Amino acid sequence: MTIRLGYGTNGLTDLRLDDALGLLADLGYDGVGLTLDHMHLDPLAPDVAARTRHVASRLQELGLGVTVETGARYVLDPRRKHGPSLLDPDPEARAARTRLLVRAVGIAADLGAHAVHCFSGITPPDTTPDTAWHRLTDSLAPVLDAAERSGIPLAIEPEPGHLLANLADFHHLRVLSGDPPPLGLTLDIGHCQCLEPAAPVDCVRDAAPWLRHVQIEDMRRGVHEHLPFGEGEIDFPPVLEALDALPDTGYRGLTVVELPRHSHAGPELARTSIEFLRKHSPSSR
């Protein structure tokens, strides 16, 4: 299997980060999707530089690759989930999210990460689509500049219910932004099952040229709920075969298990997830 498997720290929030990384290395994962948040690596902590150096050393010691994820729920505002977003009506609020993403790019560079993940946010009430897309492209411009300087690609994720919800929306953003080289894609396999018109296996193939990060979990059609493997509707063997072929297209990043609401069972799910993915991989058949 050429897929490089990771597990998201947003599904291990009951563990200290050092312990979570050690667990993943012991289970045989190749890397980690590291969500910047207060319980693990807080991007707003005054000593974030020192903490980042420690995490970088730990990753190197364990031989783990890393992608930096920025989907923490309350990292900027303790009262608004994922707020403020890149689409916030208040320019200063949008700028706070932009600054966080620029900081994430710097942290990713210090960690030697494959990419920085982000998403658009939900369109605020009484906001036209044109206005929302303009805010998104404007807010991302400094992040893309930082990504280009650092050599760390930005991987935006189509998220159900957000302005940028599907692969077609990603391509719309590419066109609006002038197709900047640092702008890439996070493909969530469950989201493909949830709402894309094409099957997940076809989404992998169609998205391959722009892929910078992959997330994986089970899901049901029309229901945005991240599920452990085997509890949803996805036919995984063909999906894993398509992911296994991605290095031929140039993708060298991680495929990260994304179970952010299952931290209470995180260690056990990390074990059963890697066992499931290995069992259903092309090399096992």
Q: For every residue of the chain, which 3-state class applies, written as one string? A: CCCCEEEEHHHCCCCCHHHHHHHHHHHCCCEEEEEECCCCECCCCCCHHHHHHHHHHHHHHHCCEEEEECCCCCCCCCCCCCCCCCCCCCHHHHHHHHHHHHHHHHHHHHHCCCCEEECCCCCCCCCCHHHHHHHHHHHHHHHHHHHHHHCCCEEECCCCCCCCCCHHHHHHHHHHHCCCCCEEEEEEHHHHHHHCCCCHHHHHHHHHHHEEEEEECEEECCEEEEECCCCCCCCHHHHHHHHHCHHHHCCCCCEEECCCCCHHHHHHHHHHHHHHHHHCCHHHC
Domains of the chain: 5-280 (3.20.20.150)
The residue ranking higher by pLDDT, 171 or 284, is 171
Q: Looking at residue 283, what is its pLDDT?
A: 73
pLDDT above 90 for 2:
no
Cα angle 186, 59, 99 (rounded to 5 degrees) comes to: 50
Q: Looking at residue 14, what is its pLDDT?
A: 96
pLDDT per position as a tens digit, 23-80: 999 999 999 999 999 999 999 999 999 999 999 999 999 999 999 999 999 999 999 9
Identify the burial level of 264 via C-beta atoms within 10 angstroms of its C-beta, where 0-12 means exposed, 13-18 middle and 19 or more buried: exposed
Q: Looking at residue 1, what is its pLDDT?
A: 65
Average pLDDT of 253-277?
97
In the chain, % of residues over pLDDT 90: 96
Of 186, 210, 102, residue with least CA distance to 148:
102
Tokens of 250: 């140039």
Q: Looking at residue 71, what is its pLDDT?
A: 95
Q: Looking at residue 261, what is its pLDDT?
A: 92
pLDDT above 70 for 232:
yes
Q: Looking at residue 257, what is its pLDDT?
A: 98
> Whole-angstrom Cα distance, residue 285 to residue 277?
12
pLDDT above 90 for 282:
no
Q: Looking at residue 271, what is its pLDDT?
A: 98
Q: Looking at residue 74, what is its pLDDT?
A: 96
> Whole-angstrom Cα distance, residue 73 to residue 71?
6
pLDDT above 90 for 284:
no
pLDDT band at 87 (very low <50, low <70, confident <90, very high): very high
pLDDT per position as a tens digit, 188-208: 999 999 999 999 999 999 999
pLDDT above 70 for 285:
no
